[in-house]
C-alpha cells in the first residue's frame, strides 16, 4: 500500500486492497506467500499473473498514446501553452519516454540524464527569476 501511495499519492485502505487481492487469488493471478511476520499478508504473481502482466505491458504504445493525449489536454487546453512551446516540451518528453530500460539501468547514463534534466530545470528557473 505504501508503494501505491508512492506512485499515486493515494493510500488505499486494507478494506479496498484485500478484496481485490482475494479476487486476483480466485482468478489464479496471485498467491499468498509465507512471511516471517504473521500479521502481514504478502502476495506474489503466479505464472498466469506474470503472463497477464506481460500482456498488459505489451500495450505500452497504447498507454503512451493516452498519456500524450492527457499531456496535450493539460498543457494546451488547461494551461493554454502556446503550440510551439508545447511541441518542444512534448518532443523532450517523448525523447525521454523512448529511452530503453537498459539505458536507464546504467548508473553512468542515469547520472548523465539527471545532469541534463537538472541543468534544463535550473535554466527554466533562472528565466522565471529574470522575469520577476
Tell me: the pLDDT tens digits for 62-76? 888 899 999 999 999
Check pLDDT > 80 for residue 112.
yes
Question: Could you tell me the pLDDT band of residue 2, with boundaries at 50, 70 and 90?
Answer: confident
Please tell me the predicted confidence (pLDDT) of residue 90. Answer: 94
Q: Say how far apart CA 72 and CA 86 lie, in whole Å.
A: 8
Q: What is the pLDDT of residues 3-59, one digit of tens each?
A: 888 888 888 888 888 899 999 999 999 999 888 887 788 899 999 999 999 888 888
* CATH code for residues 2-57: 1.10.10.10
Domains of the chain by residue range: 2-57, 60-131
Amino acid at each position: 500500500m505504501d508503494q501505491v501511495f508512492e506512485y499515486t499519492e493515494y493510500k488505499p485502505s486494507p478494506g479496498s486492497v484485500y478484496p481485490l487481492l482475494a479476487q486476483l487469488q480466485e482468478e489464479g493471478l496471485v498467491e499468498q506467500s509465507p512471511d516471517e511476520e504473521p500479521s502481514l499478508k504478502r502476495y506474489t504473481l503466479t505464472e498466469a499473473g506474470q503472463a497477464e502482466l506481460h500482456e498488459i505491458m505489451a500495450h505500452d504504445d497504447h498507454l503512451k498514446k493516452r498519456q500524450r493525449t492527457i499531456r496535450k489536454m493539460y498543457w494546451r487546453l488547461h494551461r493554454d501553452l502556446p503550440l510551439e512551446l508545447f511541441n518542444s516540451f512534448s518532443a523532450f518528453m517523448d525523447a525521454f519516454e523512448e529511452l530503453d530500460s537498459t539505458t536507464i539501468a546504467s548508473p553512468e547514463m542515469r547520472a548523465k540524464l539527471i545532469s541534463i534534466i537538472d541543468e534544463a530545470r535550473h535554466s527554466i528557473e533562472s528565466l522565471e527569476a529574470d522575469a520577476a
